[in-house]
Amino acid sequence: MIAKDKPDALAHRQVVRPIHLKHLDGLGEKLVFAGPFQDDAGQSTGSFVVIEADSLDAAKATFARDPFVTEGVFGDWQVSRFALTINKSQGR
């Protein structure tokens, strides 16, 4: 999922973040990685989340339950298939 926060959503994001993290934790081994997009000041402006799912529809359903979606933090979000081709993140 690639998501962009609504304008001026930072305070709301911080309130919703604990239940968002609980949701992500509940995905168990299906969660591959996740993290926020940030502006030049280091403030969160959106999210990038990768999960393993049986289908694109299953992934969309999982993300539709994310508290950042259901509680209105994100102004826009999309889900696409993703194929990891190059991975140089190990050990960083």
| CATH code where residue 26 lies | 3.30.70.1060
Does residue 52 lie in a domain region?
yes
Residue 84 lies in a domain: no
Residue 36: per-residue pLDDT: 97
The answer to whether position 83 is within a domain reads no
Residue type for position 25: D
pLDDT for 90 equals 81
| Residues 75, 69: Cα–Cα separation, whole Å | 8
In the chain, how long is the greatest CA-to-CA distance? 37
Count of CA atoms in the C-beta half-sphere (13 A) of 15: 7
The domain in which residue 28 lies consists of: 2-78
pTM for the model: 0.90
Tell me how far apart the alpha carbons of residues 90 and 78 are, in angstroms, rounded to a whole number: 27
Structural domain includes residue 49: yes
How many domains, the chain? Answer: 1
Question: Which residue numbers in the chain have pLDDT < 50?
Answer: none
Is residue 18 one of the residues assigned to a domain?
Answer: yes
